[in-house]
Amino acid sequence: MRNLWTKAGVFGSMSAAFGLMLWSQKQADLDQAASGDAAAPTNPTSPYKLKLVQVLFRHGARTPLKTIPGVMEAQWLPTLLEPPAHTHIDYEVTDLLGGPRPPAPVEDSYRKNVLKGGSFPGQLTTLGMQQLYELGKTLRRRYVEESPFLSSSFSPTEVYVRSTNIVRTIESAKCLVAGLFLQKQTETVTIQTTASESEILYPNYHACKMLKAMVSHRWAESSTLPDIAADLRSIKDALGIAADQHMDFILIRDDMVARETHGLRCPSALETWRARVEQRAVDMIYHVYAHNNNPETLQLCVGPLLHSVIGNMDEKLDGTASEPDRKLFLYSAHDTTLIPCLMALGIYDMKWPPYAADITLELHQHQETNKPFVKVSYVGQDQLLPGCSGVYCPLEEFKQVLSAHLMSYDVYHALCNSDEGATDP
């Protein structure tokens, strides 16, 4: 028995190493491609001065949330989850007021199930930790080394860290901060979270009755759309899954990408379906969030978050921020956060956001006119937003781009608990 466990541990370590090798090569390719496109944030000759940075990012690689039913399962061994030493920092998790971390029912639901090999669903892996550490190093290069915007060591007055109350996003935030400041800290890093009923860092179907009413039937409907339904029948047949077994392309993609990222085997029948699975998963999520181009859906998905982002900019400009020295807001979230945000910004590329993807929003001020501008990048690439006159988008134009999707938290809370209009037009 001990030999079996030893072999399993070695296999898990080999899989983790292979996954790290695969990801490192992809990351090197991405860095090389981006190096010629992304300008330094404060070029000495630039007329713009950087004032504030806000980063919304997806957690790193993880174990699947669910596995494809009835299909050869991968071995998700605990050896795939070991934290690299360079990601260790002193940190604490609190609520938004500095009190104890709230209960985490979503995380608790993951812990009720065990994947083959012994890990839980939705856990950040060693590879995922490294991905966020590398994202932190990228931010360090941009905002510490290429321009002295941030201090070289962590300062709580400069940096605000918030995460959804789920272990993989909390650990992702920790790893990013470790990479951003290379473990240089004299104070404990506080990662703030909130209770699930007040979470705005993802579309909160469970806490917002109106949002649930608007999208619940769209989720069910998305698998019955003619092209998606036909492909679903074909892939079930190819994988030998019973026709009445519940499954959808988002579930298939989740398991498939988790395996591929970590160098674990996929069923051979799935290999020929790789591109189609990606396409159909995106088709499904697009149908849910952008059905009939209804802005109310995106408002309820990410309106309060985007409202907070703009509020941070306004407070920085008018000097009313509670922390006047704050320069960086970090929000550790999910793919289901980034997709509706990209849609609201008008830059969704109809691709699923990769692990550790980031939307970075920079607030600049023109050094001669003092007029504010916003520059948005996605996965390191500067974006020209529809409705903006340039990559450096005047703040008023930026607000206009998002105007149909913004919603204050008070209005959001009132609508979510109202029975009025809780139907899909």
CA distances from 135 to 37, 38, 58, 129, 360 (A): 17, 15, 11, 10, 12
What's the CA gap between 132 and 128, in Å, rounded?
6
Residue 59: active-site member = yes
* DSSP classification of residue 27: H
User: Of residues 59, 334, 364, 405, which has the active-site annotation?
Assistant: 59
Helix (H, G, I), strand (E, B) or coil at 147: coil
User: Of residues 95, 335, 382, 424, which has the active-site annotation?
Assistant: 335
Contact assessment for residue 125 and residue 80, using Cβ atoms and an 8 Å cutoff: yes
Helix axes 209-222, 295-318, angle to 10 degrees: 130
Task: Residue 60: name the closest of 295, 209, 258 by CA.
Answer: 258
User: For residue 122, what are its two tokens?
Assistant: 């939705």
185-216: b or e for each residue (b if 16 or more CB lie within 10 Å)?
beeebebbbbebeebbbbbbbebbebbbebbe
Residue 231: active-site member = no
CA distances from 66 to 82, 235, 370, 401 (A): 21, 17, 51, 36
* Residues assigned a catalytic role: 59, 335
